[in-house]
Amino acid sequence: MSQNLEQSLKNITLIAFDLETSGKYPLEAEICEIAATKWRAGEIVDEYQTLVKPSHLMSKEVIEIHHISNEMVSNAPQISEVISEFRNFVEDGYMVAHHSPFDMGFLTIEFERAQLSLPQRPVFCSSLLSRKLIPESPNHRLQTLIQFLTLDGGTAHRALDDAKACLQLCLKCFERLGANATLDEAFAKQGRTLEWPSFSMAKLQENPTFELVIEAILGHRSLNLTYKGGSRPGKARRVYPMGLVRNPNGDFLVAKEEGDSTAKRYLLQKITKAAN
């Protein structure tokens, strides 16, 4: 797909999206709500929203964050039933989320499981944009920015309302770039390119070591890990993987070591060996 990054931001289709999930980390957790709102020529032209039934019951701690109960999703479709229509919904625009890498990590897994092509356009992150363009905000959490800019936040931590708030925030950021700002200028101001292939789990699985790690997460199994960092560099340790995060600042595994209840991050580039 050819991309004209010199076109005005006023002329693009912008799609703000948001997920609610059953936990913090991809592979270990799943999507329980997915939503998006589509903006074009100065107005919202379409919306998408659905609850999603995870394969496992959600914990009380997670439910207290987004208030989506296990009863609410009991009759909802599984992600495999809706991921294709969501992929079609976002095909014609540039996407934006607040902390986009989080949402992109979860979505890329589902696109690949369904054998769908990954979107080809780079993605905006309203958190990164707001840090550059709204530096006077006390912090750059979505709810803080909503209050600081007096935006309509709706119900916090519900996917469609958060997507709408993200859209408003992104448009405020675009305003501060100037009336004639282009896509290229906006991505440059963001300071980081967020491309879908960078979040591919299928690509990671081409590495036998990372494939074992991914299998351990999905199978809820422990494994021996040899790591070049930490207090015991180069020595094997037994860990219980909790999730794997692809991140522009460095991909990492979240795991607990045997005998230690503290979750730690292990940079994938420093993992030299994994064994069952």
Question: What's the pLDDT tens digit per position in 129-140?
Answer: 999 999 999 999
pLDDT at 147: 93
- The rounded distance, in Å, linking the Cα atoms of 184 and 6 is 6
pLDDT at 157: 80
Compute the average pLDDT of residues 246-273: 93
Structure tokens at 218: 């999905």
pLDDT score of 5 more than 90: no
- The rounded distance, in Å, linking the Cα atoms of 153 and 43 is 17
Task: Name the band, by pLDDT with cuts 50, 70 and 90, for residue 2.
Answer: low
Compute the average pLDDT of residues 170-199: 95
SS3 254: strand
- The rounded distance, in Å, linking the Cα atoms of 51 and 86 is 12
- Residue range 185-232, pLDDT digits in tens: 999 999 999 999 999 999 999 999 999 999 999 999 999 999 998 778
Instruction: Indicate where the chain has its CATH 3.30.420.10 domain(s).
Output: 9-199
Fold topology of 201-275: SH3 type barrels. (2.30.30)
- 3.30.420.40, 3.30.420.10, 3.30.930.10, 3.40.1010.10: CATH of 9-199: 3.30.420.10
Task: Name the band, by pLDDT with cuts 50, 70 and 90, for residue 154.
Answer: confident
pLDDT at 41: 93
- Specify the range with the lowest mean pLDDT, choosing from 91-95, 113-117, 248-252: 248-252
Task: Read off the DSSP letter of residue 172.
Answer: H
pLDDT at 133: 97
pLDDT at 44: 96
- Residue range 44-55, pLDDT digits in tens: 999 999 999 999
Compute the average pLDDT of residues 50-70: 96
pLDDT score of 151 more than 60: yes
Model confidence, pTM = 0.94
pLDDT score of 124 more than 60: yes
Beta strand 252-257 with 236-245: parallel, antiparallel or unpaired? Answer: antiparallel
- The rounded distance, in Å, linking the Cα atoms of 28 and 189 is 33
pLDDT at 270: 95
Compute the average pLDDT of residues 72-94: 98
Q: Are 83 and 111 in contact (CB under 8 A)?
A: yes
- The rounded distance, in Å, linking the Cα atoms of 133 and 62 is 32
Task: Name the band, by pLDDT with cuts 50, 70 and 90, for residue 3.
Answer: confident
pLDDT at 104: 97
Could you give the C-alpha distances from 44 to 21, 41, 48, 167, 174, in angstroms and in order?
25, 8, 12, 9, 16
Instruction: Indicate where the chain has its CATH 2.30.30 domain(s).
Output: 201-275
